[in-house]
Amino acid sequence: MHFLRPLLRSPSLTWILVAAALAVVMPRAVHAEAVLVVEADTGKVLQADNATMPWYPASVTKIMTAYVTLKAVKEGRLSLDTLLTVSPVAASQSPSKMGFPPGTQVTVDNALKMMMVKSANDMAVVLAEGVGGSVDGFSGMMNQAAQRLGMTQTSYVNPNGLPADGQVTSARDLAMLARAVIRDLPEYEYFMHIPSIRYGRRVTQNFNKLIGRYPGADGFKTGFICASGYNLVASATRNGKRLIAVVLGSSSGQQRAVRAAQLLERGFGGGLGWLKPALGTVDNLVPVDATPPNLREEMCGGKRKRPATDEDADVLAANGNASAGESAVTFFTAGLQPPTGKPSDLLAAAAEPSEPIPVYTGPTKTGAALIAVVAAEAEKQASSAKRGKKSKIAAKKPGAAAPKAEASAKPAAKPAAVRHASATRDAAAKPAASAERKPAAADKKPAAKPAAAADKPAPKPAKPNAAAKPKGENKPAG
């Protein structure tokens, strides 16, 4: 390297090399977005962009809801088998939710699984009221926990992340929270990476698309409201090294997952880490005093109308940020090691097959009792679906009857020569129907025969009436 020293003494060349290094290392910014990658055990920051910018948390709030609840379980204030009741407040929450009516009981264990996988807003309130007595009481517990963990940019108003004034966090604080979950609740960490749940016949996949797709993915939670964009706190472990990636303000559920996978790939590669300036540890990042960016117009404005839910219907076949050029950068920054696969390709594939974890209402059940309650709920859902189909068919019948009424009006317009046979119309209905399909030439002859035949049957019924005179049928006739 000694032959490069004269060249490196040139200030202009030095700046060119620095700019080239930054061009390789720094990601392209498309729109308002905050990203952060840290080592889980040491808190060392590997990459940070807008990491201390205040942000609306959306459903990543539920990581703290789970943390406070599981800390209460660990301290013995309640258990995973404790039954909690769905209140009217919980039942009134906006989707995504389980939709149980007030009075329904559910265990802490099942409520946590529903909240973390389906992002059920009603289950977050059920847990909040069960642990803290009320939403306000539990929010106070969440804020106390945030202060203890050094999350100086975070404030909670509710346990589910639905839009509320004062509900704010940052990528820095979320990474600190994820580290606390790993450190303080290792025995309950499986709640953070359940691939799917089954409620009766309904199977819900985890909204975190890294779970079951990205090698080593093992946490945590997604979130979305119009103001925040698509958020994700993710983690993955490779060769004994665990990283935490935070992505806030992404443009879709697929995009936030691809972005997190790219960040994790770079973090695990680390071959050219010497090109990056030392960023210290996550708790030493300096907070930015600003107002959280509001992405409502970008996320939900115009034709891009979306509900305030974490359920993402977008499936992107290709991703703008996962271009061939960026793949080459990832390959380069990974220390010239072959990549595990293009993130967009990994996340577009189907998740690894896994057995959904059953969830249910009522007390804890195991063995045959668990199988029975799951089967009963599946049957209930099937019956409800059948009733729904029948009601739809019944609703269509009045509209379907209108054409029949119009068709029945046509015979009323027949010639008067045919009307006099109305007394025998019902008996002759089937022959008449079959005759309608005969050729027009054949229709003329039968048209004359029924008229003559209708005259002859008239005296025939009179004979049976005459034979019936001894039985006293003359009186009704008189």
The sign of the CA dihedral 137, 138, 141, 147 is negative
Active site residue 235: no
Q: Which amino acid is at 112?
A: L
How are strands ordered across the β-sheet holding 45-49? 45-49, 34-39, 241-250, 229-238, 217-225
Instruction: Report whether pLDDT(35) > 90.
Output: yes
pLDDT classification of 392: cutoffs 50, 70, 90? low
Question: Is the full-model pTM beyond 0.95?
Answer: no
On whether the CB atoms of residues 233 and 254 are closer than 8 A, the answer is no
125-139, 192-206, 383-397, 414-428: range with lowest mean pLDDT: 414-428
pLDDT classification of 387: cutoffs 50, 70, 90? confident
The sign of the CA dihedral 272, 275, 281, 282 is negative
The 10s digit of each residue's pLDDT in 463-473 is 444 444 444 44
From the list 235, 251, 264, 244, the residue with the least C-alpha distance to 330 is: 264
Name the active-site residue from 62, 71, 118, 209: 62
Q: Among all chains, which residue has been given the structure tokens 């802490």?
A: 108
Instruction: Report whether pLDDT(438) > 60.
Output: no
148-162, 246-260, 409-423: range with lowest mean pLDDT: 409-423
- The whole-number pLDDT of residue 282 equals 96
Q: Which helix (H) or strand (E) holds 35?
A: strand 34-39
- The whole-number pLDDT of residue 385 equals 74
298-307, 316-325, 436-445: range with lowest mean pLDDT: 316-325
Active site residue 62: yes
- The whole-number pLDDT of residue 436 equals 41
Name the active-site residue from 119, 235, 251, 344: 119
CA–CA separation, 274 and 333 (whole Å) = 11
pLDDT classification of 364: cutoffs 50, 70, 90? very high
Active site residue 119: yes
The 10s digit of each residue's pLDDT in 121-150 is 999 999 999 999 999 999 999 999 999 999
CA terminus-to-terminus distance, the chain? 132
- The whole-number pLDDT of residue 399 equals 53
21-25, 111-115, 164-168, 302-306: range with lowest mean pLDDT: 21-25
- Cα–Cα distance list, 434 to 250, 314, 401, 415, 422 (Å): 67, 55, 22, 19, 18
- Domains identified in the chain and CATH numbers: 22-368 (3.40.710.10)
Mean pLDDT of 437-452: 42
209 is in an annotated binding site: no
